[in-house]
A and B are shown apart, each in its own frame.
Chain A
Amino acid sequence: MSAATQYYIATILVYIAVNAIASWGLDLQFGVTGVLNFAFILFQAAGAYTTAMLSLGPASGNGGFQRYLVGVHLPFPLPILGAMLVGAALSAVVGLITLRRLRSDYQAMVMLVVSVVATVVAESVLGLANGSAGLSLIPNPAEGLAGLARQAQTWVFVGICAVCMLVVGLLMYALVYSPYGRVLRGTRENEPAIEAMGRNATRARMQVFVLGGALGALSGALLAEFIGAWAPSDWLYPETFVFFTAVIVGGRGSVSGVAVGSALVCVGVQQAVQYLPIGGDPTVLASLEWIITGLLTMLFLWVRPQGLLPERRRRFPAAERVLAPGDVGGAVEVDA
C-alpha cells in the first residue's frame, strides 16, 4: 500500500473514532436525556484549544508567530485529560446559566447564542488563541516516538483514537443501559414522573451536560492533535447540527446506532460528495455536503425517526410523544 493510501485510510479511521466520540457525547445529552445542546461544537473547540495550549511550548517559541495563553508543553496524555476537564468545567458553567430556570426552547436558543458569542470572542481576542488565524503546529503525541517511521507514527495515533473510542463506547453501554440510564430517558420522556419518583430532572440534565461536554472536548483534543491546527472556522455554530444529524440518522439513545450514524453522516457524506461528477469546486462541494445533511435529517425525521438502529428496550405506551410518531418516545420503561 502506498504511503498516500495508508494516510488516507488512517485519516478516515481517525475521523470515524473522533466523530463517534463526539456524537456519543451529544447523544447522551440530546438522544438519551433530551437536552437540545445547540452549543455542542463549543465543547469540542474547548478541548481542541486546551490540548493545543497544554502541549505547545510557550507562545514566544517558533519566533513568536502565534499568540496564545498557557503554553506549558505537557507530555501525553496530560493535554487530553486537561482538555476533558476544561470541557466539563465549561459545560458546568453554561449548564448553570441555561438549564436551571429557562424554558427548554429558550435553553436551545441561548445555547445557540453562546456558541456564536464564543466564536466571536475567539476571533476577536487575539491573545487568547491567536484570533481567527487559529493555532497551528499543535504536537501529535505519536510524533515524539523515537525510532518509528512517519507512517508507523500515524498508525500509533490511529491506535490511540481507537482505544479512546473503545473506552468511550463501553462507558456509553454501561451508562445508557444502567438504572441511571433509565432515569435519563425518563427525564427526556416524562419529567413529572421522574420528579415524582424522587429523582431530580434538572440535576440529571446537568450531569449529562457535563459528561457530554467532556466527551466533546476529548473529540476536539484528538482532532486538534491529528490535524495539528485549530481555528474558529472549524467550529462555526452550524457544525453542531452535523452531530444532531448523526444522532437522528443512527438512532437516538442507541449506542451502536449513533456510532454508525456518525460514520455515515460525519465521514461518509463528505467522502461521497468527492466522488460525485460535479467538478471539484470546493464551495459547491461544501454546499452540497450541507444540503445532503439537511435532506438526510428531514428524511429520517419523516420516514424513520427512530433511526437506523433504534434504541432497544421494553416499554408500554404512555403520556406524551417526544420526537415523532414512530419514535420510541412516549413509553415508560419497565425493568427488563
Chain B
Amino acid sequence: MAVFLSALGFGVVTAAILAISAVGFTLQFSVTNVFNLSFGSVMTISGFVAYWLNSAGLGIWPAMAVAAIAGGALSLAINELLYEPFIRHGVNLFGMVIVTISVGLICDHALQAIVGPSFFSYEAPAGKAFHFADFVLTGQELAIIGIAVALTVLVQAALQYTRLGKAMRGLSVNPSLARACGVPTRRVIALAWFVSGVLAGIGGVALFLDISTFTATTGSEFLIVIIAAAVLGGIGSPRGAVLGALVVGIVTEVGAAYWNPELKDVLAFSVLIVVLLVRPQGLFSQLATERAVAR
C-alpha cells in the first residue's frame, strides 16, 4: 500500500504536467485542426528561456511566467509566419503534419546547435516536504499540481462560459457558420495558438523542474506522451485531455513502481492502443469524423 500511494503521488505530479500540456495541444487542434508536432519544441524553448532567466538570478516561478509569455509569442509567431501561409497556399491536413514536424526538427536542432548536447537543470529548491499518509510531495510538486488544477479549470470555464470561449468552440465545429455570426475567425485562431503556446511554456518549465535534467530535445520526446494523453481522452476535447493525462500519468508511475521503471511509457502507450481499439474516437471526443484544416 505504501508503494502504491507513493507511486500515486508521483503519478499525480506527472498527470499535472501532462494535463497542462495536453490541454494546450488539444485546444489548438480543436480550433484549427492542425496536428501540431512542433508543440514539444515550444515547450523546450520556453523551458530554456526560463533556464537563462533562472541562471541570471531570477526565481523559478517568475521565470515560468516569462516563459509562458515567450511560449505564447513563439507559438503565435510560428502560426502567423509559417503555418497560416502554408494553409493559405493550399497545403492540406497531412501536408501540415509534415510542415509541423519540419518546424519542430528545425527548432530543436537550432537550439541544440546553440546550447550543445549537454544536460541542464534549474537552480530551484524543491521546497519543504509535505506528508499525506504515505505519500510525500515537495512544495515544488504541490505548486505544479496547484498550477495545473488552476489552469485546466480556467481554460474549461473560459470555453464554457465566456463569449470568446463559445466562439472558439463554435469555430472548431463550423468555421463558416462562426463567420456568419460575425466571429472574427482569424483573430480567434490566433488566440488559440497563443493560449496553446502559453500552456506549452508553463508545461515545459514544469516538466523540466520535475525531471530535474533536460536537453534541447526533451520537450519533443515528451510530446509523444502528451499526444498519448490527448488522443486517449479524445483529441479536441480539453476535458478529455485532463482525463487522459490522469490515466497516463497514474498508470505510468504505478507501473514503474510495480514493474520495470524503464517500461513505464510502454504501459501508458499500451493503454492508449487498447482504448483506441475499443473506442476509436478516444474516451471523450464528440468529433468522430475528419475535417479539413480550418482557415
A-side residues, CB < 8 A to B, are 34, 36, 97, 101-106, 108-110, 112-114, 116-117, 120-121, 123-125, 237-238, 241, 244, 248, 283-284, 286-288, 290-291, 293-295, 297-298, 301-302, 305, 321-325
Interface string of B15-59 (1 = CB under 8 A from A): 000000000000000000001000000000000000000000000
Residue of A nearest to B33 (CB): A105
B100 → chain A, closest Cβ, in Å? 10
CA distance A291 to B109 in the complex (A): 6
9 smallest CB-CB distances across A and B, nearest first, come from A325-B90, A124-B262, A287-B109, A294-B102, A294-B106, A290-B109, A287-B113, A294-B105, A101-B280
In the complex, the answer to whether B290 meets A105 with C-beta atoms within 8 Å is yes
> Using Cβ atoms and an 8 Å threshold, which residues of chain B touch A104?
94, 290
Interface assignment of B62: CB less than 8 Å from any CB of chain A? no
In the complex, the answer to whether B235 meets A106 with C-beta atoms within 8 Å is yes
Interface assignment of B276: CB less than 8 Å from any CB of chain A? yes
> Using Cβ atoms and an 8 Å threshold, which residues of chain A touch B228?
113
Interface assignment of B272: CB less than 8 Å from any CB of chain A? yes
In the complex, the answer to whether A321 meets B92 with C-beta atoms within 8 Å is yes
Interface assignment of B286: CB less than 8 Å from any CB of chain A? no
> Using Cβ atoms and an 8 Å threshold, which residues of chain B touch A286?
109
How many residues on B have C-beta within 8 angstroms of the other chain's C-beta atoms?
46
From B4-12, B135-143, B176-184, B263-271, give the one contacting chain A.
B263-271
Which one of A108, A110, A238, A302 lies within 8 Å of B97 (CB-CB)?
A: A108
Which one of A109, A120, A124, A297 lies within 8 Å of B98 (CB-CB)?
A: A297
Which one of B98, B99, B110, B224 lies within 8 Å of A113 (CB-CB)?
A: B224
Interface assignment of B13: CB less than 8 Å from any CB of chain A? no
In the complex, the answer to whether B266 meets A117 with C-beta atoms within 8 Å is yes
> Using Cβ atoms and an 8 Å threshold, which residues of chain A touch B86?
298, 301-302
B window 200-250: CB within 8 A of A: 224, 227-228, 231, 235
Interface assignment of B70: CB less than 8 Å from any CB of chain A? no
B127 → chain A, closest Cβ, in Å? 31
In the complex, the answer to whether A284 meets B113 with C-beta atoms within 8 Å is yes
> Using Cβ atoms and an 8 Å threshold, which residues of chain B touch A110?
231, 272-273, 276
A232 → chain B, closest Cβ, in Å? 12
CA distance A290 to B92 in the complex (A): 23
B-side residues, CB < 8 A to A, are 35, 82, 86, 89-95, 97-99, 101-103, 105-106, 108-110, 112-113, 116-117, 224, 227-228, 231, 235, 260, 262-263, 265-266, 269-270, 272-273, 276-277, 280-281, 288-290
Which one of A108, A109, A116, A323 lies within 8 Å of B95 (CB-CB)?
A: A323
Which one of A102, A109, A117 lies within 8 Å of B35 (CB-CB)?
A: A109
A35 → chain B, closest Cβ, in Å? 10
In the complex, the answer to whether A324 meets B91 with C-beta atoms within 8 Å is yes
In the complex, the answer to whether A324 meets B92 with C-beta atoms within 8 Å is yes
> Using Cβ atoms and an 8 Å threshold, which residues of chain A touch B231?
106, 109-110
CA distance A34 to B110 in the complex (A): 30
In the complex, the answer to whether A291 meets B110 with C-beta atoms within 8 Å is yes
Which one of A101, A113, A121, A324 lies within 8 Å of B90 (CB-CB)?
A: A324
> Using Cβ atoms and an 8 Å threshold, which residues of chain B touch A284?
113
Given A117-B269, A324-B89: A298 touches B227 (CB 8 Å cut-off): no
In the complex, the answer to whether B113 meets A288 with C-beta atoms within 8 Å is yes
In the complex, the answer to whether A120 meets B265 with C-beta atoms within 8 Å is yes
CA distance A297 to B105 in the complex (A): 11
A291 → chain B, closest Cβ, in Å? 5
In the complex, the answer to whether A120 meets B112 with C-beta atoms within 8 Å is no
In the complex, the answer to whether B90 meets A103 with C-beta atoms within 8 Å is no
CA distance A36 to B276 in the complex (A): 18
In the complex, the answer to whether A283 meets B106 with C-beta atoms within 8 Å is no
In the complex, the answer to whether B265 meets A241 with C-beta atoms within 8 Å is no
In the complex, the answer to whether A123 meets B262 with C-beta atoms within 8 Å is yes
> Using Cβ atoms and an 8 Å threshold, which residues of chain B touch A120?
262-263, 265-266
In the complex, the answer to whether B89 meets A294 with C-beta atoms within 8 Å is no
CA distance A323 to B87 in the complex (A): 11
Given A291-B110, A324-B92: A297 touches B290 (CB 8 Å cut-off): no
